[in-house]
Structure 1
Amino acid sequence: MNRKNYILVGIGILMSISVFSQQGKQKRADTLFNKFSFVKAAKVYTELVQNNYNRDYATRKLADCYALLRDPRNASRYYKSVVKQKNVPVEYYYKYAQSLRGMKKYDESQIWLQRFKDSGGVVDADDFSKDINFITSVFGAKQQYFLDRVRFNSKYSDFGAFEHNGKVYFASSRDEGVAIKRVYGWNEQPFLDVYVAEAGSRRNVDHTAKIKGDVNSIYHDGPVTITKDGKTMYFSRNNFKDDIEVKSKGGLTNMKIYRATLVDSVWTNIEDLSINGDNFSTQHAALNKDDSKLYFASDRPGSVGGSDIWVVDIFPDGTLRNLQNLGDVVNTKGAEGFPFINNEDILFFSSDGHTGLGLLDVFASIKDEEDESKIVDVINLGIPINSNSDDFAFTMNQDGITGYFASNRRGGRGSDDIYAYHREPVLHVEGVVTDAINSNPVQGAKITLYDDNDQPVAYMETDENGYYQINIDRNRDYKIVASQDKYIDDYRKFTSKNIQTELITINANLLLNPVQDVVKLAKLDLNTIYFDFDKHTIRKDAAVELNKIVSLMKNDYPEMVIRIESHTDSRGRLSYNDKLSIDRANATYEYLISKGIDPKRITEHQGFGERRLTNGCEDGVNCEEEQHQKNRRTQFIVVKME
C-alpha cells in the first residue's frame, strides 16, 4: 500500500472514530435528559452542536434543557435557532414565546404565540394572563400529567392520599355519620382522622372507613406513610399527652410524627419519635424506596424558612440518627412541606418559596449524575398538577405512572380535595439493525426518524451492537429508516397513537440486505444446479456448474464465502420433501468439500423443501415436467466477497 493509500485509510479510521464518538455522546445526552440531569445533558448537547452532529435535534434538546432549568436567556437563545429550522414542530414556537416572556420581552413573545396559533397550536386563554415562571407554561405546552376522577372526596378537607397494597389511606375531616363532632376552631371543621378505601372504589367513605387501631385520636391525625412490608406506619398528629394538647412556649400546639405497628390487622403500639419536640412541628412523613430514610417537614431550629424538608436515617433497631436539613437548593425562605420519595428515590415536595403558578406548588428534585445523594435543582411539575391555589401532598404509586395530590383549587367538592393523576413517561423507539444474511449486528448504520409528513425529525448511528434509541412524541405516526453504504435501505412505519400509558419503549428492529456487486456477480456466474425427480445425486450438468464454483473460489476469489439453499418441487408429502431438499443441500456441500473447498467458506447448507417454489406449480396444479424441474434446484448465495 502506498503512502497515499495509508493517508486515506488513516483519514477513514479517524472519521469512523469521530462518528461513533458523536453517536455515543448523543446517546449519553438523551439518557441524561431522561433522568432529569439537565445540567449535564446541556453540556453534551452543546458539544454535539459545536461538532455539527445531528445539529437540529441537539439544538432542540439543548433549548429544552435550559427551559427545564428555568434559564430563559439561554433557552430563548437556542429556541431562536430552532424556530428557523425546516419543518420544526409547531410546539417550539410556543416554547420560544414562553422563553421570551421569561425575559419580559412581551411584544416579541406575543408574535411567536400568534405564530403558534396560526400554525394550528391551541393556547389556553390563561396561559399569558400573568407573569409567572415561564417553565410552568413550557410544561403546560406539552402536558405530562393527566387528571383522573376520585370518588371519595367530601365537602370537608381531604388530602394526603397514599396507596399501599390496593388500598388508599388519606386524612379527612369528614367525620360524617357521627352524632357528636369535635370541631377545630381554626376553620370550624371536624379534626382530621385517617381513613382507608379500596383503590378505585366508587363507594362513599364515611366514619366506618377510619383505620382500625390507635392512630386516630381526638385531635388531628394524618397524613400517613407505610413501609413496603406493610408492618409499620408513620403518621402526623397533634402533640398531646393524656388527651390534653401540649403547647409550645408561644402557646401553639405543634405537630409530631408517630410510629405505629400492625398487630392482627390493627394499628397499635404508638411511639413518639426522637426527632419530635414541643417547641416546633415535625410532620408529613415520607420514606425512601428501601425504608432506610425518613423525610419530613419541620420548622425546628436550623430551618431556612417557615418550614423545611429534613431527613434522618432509620437504623435496623428503629432508632433515628444523622438528622439533616436538605439545604437551600430545596428549602427557601418560604415554606416547604409534604415530601414524597418515589421508586427512583426522586424527591417531590410542595413549596410557596420556589417560583410557581400560585400558592403552594408541587416540585421535583434533580439529582447530580455522579453523586445521586446530592440535589442540584428542582423543577415545577406544571399544570394540571399545579394551579393558582394550594397544590400539595403529591404521591406516586408503585407503578411510577399513577398517583394522587391535593388542592383547594376551584371546582372541587370541599375545601381541600384529593385528585388522582396518571402521567405519560418519556417514550422512545429502539431497535437493533442486523445483517439479513449472517444475522450479525450492523455498526454505524444511519438511523433516520421521519414524521407523518415524511420530514426528518432526528437521526443517529447504531453502536457496536447494532443498537439505536431515539426519543419520540406520543400520538404521532413515524417512519424509521436504516441505511449503510454496503446495504440496501430498510424501513418500518409505526405509530405512537393509542398506546398504553405505561409503555415507554416501541421496538423497531431493522434488517439490511447487502448490496450485491453486479459486475462481480455477473463475472462469477454462479448458476443454479438442478436435480432429477425424487433424487439428490449430482447430475453431470450440475457437476460442470459446481466445478466452475470451485475454480472461482480457489483461484479468483480466495476470500469468497457462500451459502447453499436447496429445494424440491411440490409433488410428494411436505415432510418427505423437506428431507429430500436437505439431502440435496448435503450432496452439494459434500461435492464442493471433496474438491478442496474449506468448509468454513460455506456458512450454511439448508433445505427448504417445497416451501419456496419459483412458480405456481403448487399441490393440485397441473404443470409440465419442465416447470417442475425449475423447482428442483440448489442455489448459491454470496455472503462475502473479500
Structure 2
Amino acid sequence: MTKAKYIFYGLAVMTMVSQAQEKKIKKAETKFTNYSYASAISSYEDLVKDGYTEEEIFKNLGNANYLNANYKEAANWYGQLFQLGVTDVDPEYMYRYAQTLKSLEKYEASDSWMNKFRKAQSNDQRALAFSDNQDYLEQIEERSGRYKLKNLGLNSKVSDFAPSFYGKDLVFSTARDSGLISKNIHRWNNGAFLNLYKATGDGEGNFTELDKLDRKLNRKTHESSTAFTKDGQTMYFTRNNSVNGKFSRDEEGISRLKIFSANLVDNEWKNIIELPFNGDNYSVAHPTLNKDETKLYFASDMLGTAGESDIFSVEINKDGTFGAPQNLGPQINTEARETFPFVTDSDILYFSSDGHPGLGGLDVFATDLKNDSGKVINVGRPLNGEEDDFSYIINEETKKGFFASNRKGGQGNDDIYSLIETEPLDFSCHTNIAGVVKDEKTGAFLVDAAVKVYDSKDNLISESRTDANGAFAMEGDCTDGNYKVVATKTDYDEGDKIFATVNAKDATGIEVVLAQTDKSAPIGTDLAKYLNIEPIYFDFDKYFIREDARISLNKVLAYLKEYPNVKIEVGSHTDSRANDNYNLRLSANRAKSTAAYLVEQGIDEGRISYEGFGETQLTNDCSNGVPCTKEQHQMNRRSEFIVVK
C-alpha cells in the first residue's frame, strides 16, 4: 500500500524537506525523521552497500518500507535486524516482522515470531487475539470463497482507492493527473497528491464518464474517503488540515487529517466546513454513516486511541450538531491500525486492520454492532490476501460492492475491485468448545464417549461424541458465565469439567477424565460362581494345581488385577474319604498351593488368605459311609475364592 492512502489511516502527512547537506548517514536519518521515506530508503540502501550494518539502519529501512507497504522489502530488513543478535529490540519490531513474513506466505515463521511477541507483550490486544485464535488460518479458510472479484477498468497506473456509493455512481480517491511538478509530489512515497473523482454508473456495475469533482473539493492537499447521505445533499470527506486550500502544519511540520462536510447547492458542493471534533494535533479520517444517518463512524489517532489508529463513532444530533466521539473499544481496536470503517444498513461494521489475525498487510474484518460480544471476523479469501486489502463497501440488497487492494496483477499501486458476495457471513454468535475425554487410570483417550455442555442453569447448550482420538468439538453460546462439560461412557462413571466463557472467547483444551465403574463383587461372594468359571478341582489325595484348573485360576487372577483393592480368602476342601484330621491337612495344602499360584503370578500376598476345611463343607450327601461315584466325590475336592474386602 502506498503512502498516498496510508496517510488516511489517521497518521500524518509531512511535506518538510530537509535542506541539510550532511554526511550520508546523517542525511538518511534526516530524511527518515522528516517522513521522506522513499528518499530515505534509497539513502539507507546506499549505506548498506557501503558496508554499514547498524541496528538503526535496519530498523529504519524496515519501517520505511513497512509504512510504504513494501512488505517483502520490510521483511528482509527486519530479518537482518534480528540477525544482529540484539537482545533489547522493541517488541513492536517482532510484530512487524511477523506481519511482513505473511506477505511472503511464511505463516509458520510468522506464527513463531508472534509467539515471541506474545511472550514479550502478553497484555497486548494483538497478542491476546493471536493467543485465542492460533488456528486463525483454518478459520479464515472456512470463511473463504464467498466473493467474486473483478478489477475495474477505471483504475490508473497510480493509486486508486476509497470507493463510496453516490446513487448509481462511484466516488473514489486517486493520484492520477495531479501533476508531476515538485510541489505536487509527496515526499513519503514520491507519489502525487490525491483528488476525488466520480465514475458515472448504469446501475449494473458498469462505469463511464470519469470526472474530477468540484475544484472547491479538490485543493492542493490530499482529499479522500467520502460518505454521502441518502438524499445526496450532504457529503463528508477527508482532507489535510489546510488554510485557503494549502497545507496547514502543526509545530512538528505535520499536516494532520480532518473530516469536512459539504452541501449540494444548485448542483455545486458548497458550505465546506470542518467537523467540530477535528484537531490540529491528531488526525480524523474515513467517514461513514449508519443507516438512519444518526451516527458517523471514522478512524483517528486522537486522545484515547489504543494503537496507531482506532475506529470511533459520534452521534449526529437532530439539529445537526455532534456528540462526543466514542472509541469502539478493545474488541475492535488493537495497538495496530484499524481504519476505513463502513457500516451497512443492518449495522454490520466492516473495517481494515493489521492488528487482528489475518493473511498479511491490512485485511478486511467484520463485526455485528448489534451483538454485544463484539466478535471480529476475517472475511476470508479471495478478498483478503498477503498484501493490503481495504476500503470495503457493499450494498446488502444487491450483494455488490467494492474494495481496494495493492495485490499482484493490478494496474497501479492500489486498484479498486468490484465484488459480488455469493454467501453471507455467519454472524450468529457462538464459541468453540473443544477437548478430550480420558481414562482416569491409564490416560488413554476414550472413543465414542457422549459429551454434553450445560449452562449455569443446567440448560443443555450442545452435545457431541468423541472421535477416534477421544476428542470432541462443539459450538457454545456467547453468554458470559460458567459452563459444565459432562462426559459419559459405558462401563465408566460420569465425569465433568467446569469452564467459564468471557467476551465470547473460545474454550479449548478441556480435559474430562472418567473412572471405570467399580464392578467388584460384594463381600462374601465366591468368585468362581461370580465369574462363571469351572471349579478348581484336585486329583484324589493330591494338592498340586492341575492344568485344567489353571484356566479358571487365570480368570481369577485377571479379576484381582483389574480390581486391586479386592482381598480374598482361598478355601479348599476334600471329599469324605480318609480320616477327618488327614483331610484337614490335605485341604490346607490345597488352599496354600492355590494361593501360592496367584502370588507367583504377581498378586500381593497380603491380599490373599487361605484356609482348609477338610470334609466339613461337602457339596453333596457323600459323607462318611455313604456310597458315591468317583464323579460325586470329585465335586467335593475343590477350592473357592471368597471376597473378604
TM-score by length of 1: 0.44
- Larger Rg over CA atoms: 2
Question: Which structure ranks higher in relative contact order (CA pairs < 8 Å, sequence separation ≥ 6)?
Answer: 2
TM-score by length of 2: 0.43
